Structure 1
Amino acid sequence: MVAGQWIDAPEEGGLDAVSVPQLLAQAWRDERSGILQLAHGQRERHLLVREGAPCMASSPRGEDDFAAYLSSTGRIDETQRAEVERLASERGCPQASAVLALQLIDAKALYLAMRAETRMRIAETFPWAAGQYRWIAAPPADSDPRTARAFDLLALFQDELPRRWGTERLFDAIRSIEGLHGDVPPRHRKVAAKLAQTGEMAARAIAGLDGHHPVGRILGDCAGDALAAATLWTAAFSGVMRRIDAARTQAESNFDFEVDVEVAPRPSAPLEDAAGKAAGRSKQAQTAPNPKADALREEIHTLLQRLGDLDHYKALGLEEDATGAHIKKAYFKAAKKYHPDALGRLGLESLKDDAAQVFARVAEAFEVLSDPDKKKAYDAGGSDEAEIDTTRLAQAETSFRKGEILAKMGNFEGALDYFEPAVELWPDEPAYQMGLGWALFKQTRPDHARAIHHLEKACGQAPNDAVAHYRLGLVFRTVGGSNRANPLIAKAQSLDPDVSE
């Protein structure tokens, strides 16, 4: 069994067949309670899970040293560490109790340190790729003395998978699901919104889960970003992403994305020498020529001047007989090359805007050539009008979904920044009109007139949309228009008795 496959793991087995994050993701999905016993070489770890969330991590062999952790994180010094270990040994008590007895840190700081150490213990098990696991029943919550707030497991995945697994293993795991399509079901939208809060690429990854694009395509659109990969893995394996199409089509099976894996060599010299050498290299880098950066700078400038003259194939650097696999590979190569992080590594931050224009042209070409019907029409010399509409609609949908995430988090002012462009790009979509109208009403300083205008448009475009009519009724009720509000709310309830805002 390949690490990273979407599976339902048995009650016990080998960590070479299923990873620890997969086991925990399945527990989260199933809201499982129990103790996950892990053995990896000479190390053991027991993870207490309550309703899908890990609460505690312990080691039956006692190899975890809380005093050492406090010392390594600067909370206590080495002398205090020795005092803690001595007192804990004399009294036969946990080291945390000894810390409190010695009054080295206050109770709140101690609690936070214990939480941080437990989080670290859980994350340390993520890379364990050999050994055994077994689920056993957990004691009732009220009889378990190890009570603690559960950890946000999905946030832990986002934070730790790129670091604990490394880019190569993370992308290997994504490859096993790259052809899957999925969206976010209503019951998980709040969770998805929280995942999207961790960064721009995480938000882009969540917005891509619209049921129309496979996971591999979404990751490619995120230029192979590690946070986006961790977010997609988390959504897929925890069940936050609802699978729509589990079968790979032939086109999807050829899907490809490329990732740069940078491996830093271990320092062989003392830290002081290494720091001095690093400073010297940094100084040299400021003056030494960089052929790769110079070549990319020249390429961007040349393409920018020729954008209007490039056909779709030339925009992707392809011949007209290019296959679907070649088209996808060229697109993701460009996504990686023109990504802001890649430019930053080469010291080309000033070219980000120019590179964005070049990549927009590449994306436009890919939009046409990756679709067999559009490609056929383009090759036959057909009009680009339909293609332009498709691009506008895709831009509108992406903008709307970002706004929807912010609105679900209660950030209606921020949502307006995305709903406005969505309506401008595609005014005939009632969902966009309704989203904009509702955000105008729910913002800190409501704009009732504009809210009514857009909600009325939504009702006109979707006469059987219960939510649109209900929201418009609520706005009229707020401004004192009961004669308009009551019929709208009544109609909404007739369309859907369970309707709510």
Structure 2
Amino acid sequence: MFPSPSQVLRQREGLLADTPFPLLLQALMVEERTCTLELKVRQREKRILFEEGSPVACQSNLLHETLGKYLVEKGKLSEADYQKSLAESVSSGMQMGGLLVQKGLISPFDLYKQLQANLAHKLLDCFRWVDAKYRLIADAETPDASVRMNTAQLILTGVEGVMPFDAVATHFTFTDERRFGQMPAVESGPKLSSKDARLLQQLRQRPTFNELMERTGFDMETVLRRLYALCLLGVAGFVEDVDARAVELSSRVVPVAAPPPEPVAPEPVAARGLPFSDEDVATRDALVSAFLAHRSKDPFALLEVPEDVQPLPLRRAFLAWAERFSPLRFQTPELKEKAESLLAAYARAYGTLSDAEQNLLWRKRRAAHREKERTATGRPSTAEQFRIRTDLLDARTQFDEARRRLTDKQYAGAFEYFEYACDIEPKPLHHAWRAWARYLMKPESHGRLALQELQEVVRQEPGLEDGWAFLGEVAQGEGQWALADEALRKAFKINPKNRRYVELLQEMARRR
């Protein structure tokens, strides 16, 4: 059904039109690759870092995807606090996340949650980039923060809700008589929604695509999207592939299990000892803060010991950190996993500094870094740093320029800048204005397409005044009086203060 992961990754660069983004993700996940995936489309660029097949970071040149702007949009940070923190981050060189925690604007635990959400937001946006170029780079830089995405869940979410339907239909083709089934012995997979589970349940009956639509009651797009994602993840497949998998599993030699031992009643455990620290906000935040920062620290900094540390103090430092964030102190899987990762990092650091050769190597690295800082020609000025850090694509800037050109009746130029805004941040508002500019460029030939775009906009965001207003005016120009009347009335209902809607309705009544 799909090329094997090794075949997909054999091609180091190409087009997502030929090798779709979810297929690349699946191949990197199965092969457990550590690398960088670079994506470019027109003026947009992203670099996604993978560790053992999981995305752990994404560098983007889109302003609204930076952590600060993302927090402002989600209501987690005020615009004023963002601007102050940005200026301080630029002047000090400190990462935005750490600075926000230091200033008390967000807790370490909440920061971790938002870093996860921000990474998911950046990655899901890539499912739209169907015309991008991609390049696989063997090197992978160490990310600033310890965040990791579930690749299977990302594929399922992106295919079902973000990837353009035309792209799904292009890359997932089959004849009407083909039957689908559920793959046997799938060890792990993504968390399924109720719709996914319902569809997967029906796959046990080995239906055709049309039978699957009929039995689930879902429309064609819903079934095709979910079926594509489940087949890509190896949860479902054509019946011949399902049968081949079953034969392969049955041919494996299964060792005879020894008889189970007689059950022994467990002794009652007394409720004593230290309680779990999951509900202790200070301990939880300290754990997450240490977890977020540990990857950017060398062994000396991680254990907080001097370079001339002796074996006994080194051992004591390691044991102190291991005790402070012991996995035994945490009960919830999320915190326990972070504590386990920290314990492993502390153990590696202790092992490194206990080895004389490794200890000397790290001291030389530190000395070289200090010498480099001492001989540096100087830091860029605050203004230069600000220019570098904010040299990002901003949808608002493109949108404002497009509206200015529209006011000047430069319709082609306005359309181009609205196109940029839609590329950078595909909001319904941007799409509405782009459709309006498209119509104004050539009303006689673009009317039907503009109507389709505006109807999709108001379907996505029914409360968008501009969408209904433009739909009303375009429908009026196309002679679709009923649609124009409905759209203008909805725009007036959203904003009764705008008398233009009343005037347009009255004008239509006279003309009809």
Q: TM-score, normalised by structure 1?
A: 0.44
Higher relative contact order (CA 8 A, sep 6+): 2
